[in-house]
Chain A
Amino acid sequence: MEKLIHTPEGVRDIYGSELAMRKSVNEKILSTFNLYGYKEIETPTFEYFDIFSKEIGTTPSRELYKFFDREGDTLVLRPDFTPSIARSAVKYFMEDGKPVRLSYSGRAFTNNLNLQGKLKETTQSGAELIGDGSVDADCDVLAMVIDTLKNAGFKRFTVSIGEVGFFKGLCEEAALDEESILKLREQISVKNYYGAGEMLKHRGVSKKLQELILRAGDVLDKEELKELADDVTNEMSKAAIQRLIEIYDVMCMHGMEEYISIDLGMLSKLNYYTGLIFKAYTYGAGDAIAKGGRYDGLLGRFGHEAPAIGCVFLLDDIVSALLAAGVKGADDTEVQVVEYGEKDRRAAFEKIAELRKSGKPAVGKKV
């Protein structure tokens, strides 16, 4: 009979020097969170479906791993941590009204398509700052993202920042229906500006608004942001741009503007974001290695209104990007082998015990 020893698609064994490197990189990430005042929290691997439902705005339902408990309730393996953290923050931490800083690290699960070369089980380490809606809080998180990537060993990377309010405001002003907004989002998020332009023309959107929506992709620096702010007429989009300008100024005060690039056309798949969103990119990874944003509406869904912002580091992609950049993994510590025969067993055991006591891994081998 053939023995089944391979794993299902999208999950894998991790061991040896790769695991050692993962652990040391993750350690660096978590210790940076710690330096920024975050306390670790663990939430369950699975929760009720409602925590990750469409209303919350997380992963599409078809990409969730769902199963039932004995009572017939639908349970879900967490696709990301933010809704769980928001839920537990409402439950345990919201009494004195002070900002709460929580960090986590663990596995997350998405039931994505087969044969796309994507993992279904990934390791995510992230942090959530709850109860502070200020620009300074936005920048504190951005600064931590930059410091964390530096500490993890990256030299060249960029953090793109955007604001979901800009696009939302323009869509409202253009009075687009939900279906058109979805289509437009799809096209803007793949930077298909000529396709988006065609569609807007087709929907009878005014020339001026068309131009504004399409200009988002061309904005690169603060000066261009200011020009755009002057041309935008609706309040929501204007506020979004002002906020980005402020964030950029504060990042300059942090002395970190070299890592920041502006991308107003950036959109997120997660619908719970309400303000700043960001993604960190580097060579050697085909997608963002860290991302996050502000989600001021999410805690309200769990019964307690509070502003919040968070970030997540995708450990699997970070490790492969580091390897691609030539950063060497941590070597496994050599294990010393002590050989012994029938006669000198006692002496050998003593020697092995000594080695272990002094912190050196050792095993015995009878010859």
Chain B
Amino acid sequence: MSMEGYLTFALTKGRLADKTLKLLEHAGISCTEMEDKDTRKLIFVNEEQKVRFFLAKGPDVPTYVEYGVADIGVTGKDTILEEGRRCFEVLDLGFGKCRMCVCGPESARELLEHHEMIRVASKYPNIARDFFYNRKGQTVDIIKLNGSVELGPIVGLSDVIVDIVETGSTLKENGLMVLEEVCPLSARMIVNQVSMRMENERIRRLISQLAEALEKE
């Protein structure tokens, strides 16, 4: 469980973590231990400021936060939607902007206009299911893939895919295009419900400091 007196952050490994740390500097929070890229440490502590950090895979961040082993987490909106964990989503950090889209070849556009059964491949089965069942009212067969989802329509496994689109260049190279937008995405800060109550002042101050820093940018 989260240590009393410390604020524990769960950050998404990679670019998102670097950007988050830079943003946290605006709120006066830093962690020199993390700057050493070769370190094998899993948990980084700044004793002076009473903060701890650890790095996790994106989809696990909401899990750590829901259980309260981390007070605060930073991860993409896509994983928050997909995991459906109960956490407070308090701030849109603005970076890591992209879109969740239904993509496929031009010929598949027609399939989305009727309610006929189609096959959808996705790394995000929950988001795909929610979009087709609850927003479009279309019956679909969802196939969970773990990467290179674009292959789905190309090799004939599925009619369309539901995936993150940043620039759309991978799609283009493979003869696919965005057919419909599901929702916009970006990095979000999430907070455990109990931490929000027990460390209310500290976390609120942090949120408003970060919000200010974001506005200036």
Q: Which of chain B's residues has its CB closest to A117's CB?
A: B67
Cα-based distance from A184 to B167 in the complex (angstroms): 31
Q: Are A324 and B197 in contact (CB under 8 A)?
A: no
Provide a sorted-by-A list of 22 A–B residue pairs whose CB atoms are within 8 angstroms: A156-B198, A158-B197, A190-B86, A190-B87, A190-B88, A191-B89, A191-B90, A192-B89, A192-B90, A193-B90, A194-B91, A195-B92, A220-B200, A281-B193, A282-B194, A282-B198, A283-B1, A283-B4, A283-B194, A285-B68, A287-B194, A288-B193
Q: Which of chain A's residues has its CB closest to B208's CB?
A: A218
Minimum-distance CB pairs A-B, first 3: A286-B68, A191-B88, A192-B89
Smallest CB separation, A222 vs chain B (Å) = 16
Q: B197 contacts which chain A residues (CB < 8 A)? A: 158, 160, 261, 263, 281
Q: Are A191 and B67 in contact (CB under 8 A)?
A: no
Q: B89 contacts which chain A residues (CB < 8 A)? A: 190-192, 195
Q: Which of chain B's residues has its CB closest to A320's CB?
A: B1
Q: Are B200 and A286 in contact (CB under 8 A)?
A: no
Q: Are A286 and B91 in contact (CB under 8 A)?
A: no
Interface of B is mostly: mixed
With A190-B89, A191-B89 already in contact, the answer to whether A283 and B67 are too (CB < 8 A) is no
Q: A190 contacts which chain B residues (CB < 8 A)? A: 86-89
Q: A195 contacts which chain B residues (CB < 8 A)? A: 89, 92
Determine whether A106 belongs to the interface, using a CB cutoff of 8 Å to chain B.
no
Determine whether A284 belongs to the interface, using a CB cutoff of 8 Å to chain B.
yes
Q: Are B86 and A261 in contact (CB under 8 A)?
A: no
Q: Which of chain B's residues has its CB closest to A192's CB?
A: B89
Q: List B175-202 residues whose CB lies under 8 Å from chain A.
A: 191-194, 196-198, 200
A263-281 CB contact bits vs B (8 Å, 1 = yes)?
Answer: 1000000000000000001
Determine whether B150 belongs to the interface, using a CB cutoff of 8 Å to chain A.
no
Smallest CB separation, B70 vs chain A (Å) = 10
Cα-based distance from A285 to B192 in the complex (angstroms): 10
Q: Which of chain A's residues has its CB closest to B92's CB?
A: A194
Cα-based distance from A117 to B69 in the complex (angstroms): 14
Q: Which of chain B's residues has its CB closest to A269's CB?
A: B86
Determine whether B66 belongs to the interface, using a CB cutoff of 8 Å to chain A.
yes
A324 CB contact (under 8 Å) in B1, B193, B198: B1
Q: Are A285 and B86 in contact (CB under 8 A)?
A: no
B196 CB contact (under 8 Å) in A117, A156, A191, A192: A191
Q: Are B194 and A281 in contact (CB under 8 A)?
A: yes
Q: A263 contacts which chain B residues (CB < 8 A)? A: 197
Q: B88 contacts which chain A residues (CB < 8 A)? A: 190-192
Cα-based distance from A45 to B200 in the complex (angstroms): 39
Cα-based distance from A192 to B193 in the complex (angstroms): 12
Determine whether B2 belongs to the interface, using a CB cutoff of 8 Å to chain A.
yes
Q: Are A286 and B198 in contact (CB under 8 A)?
A: no
With A117-B67, A261-B200 already in contact, the answer to whether A286 and B194 are too (CB < 8 A) is yes
Q: Which of chain B's residues has its CB closest to A284's CB?
A: B1
Smallest CB separation, A224 vs chain B (Å) = 13
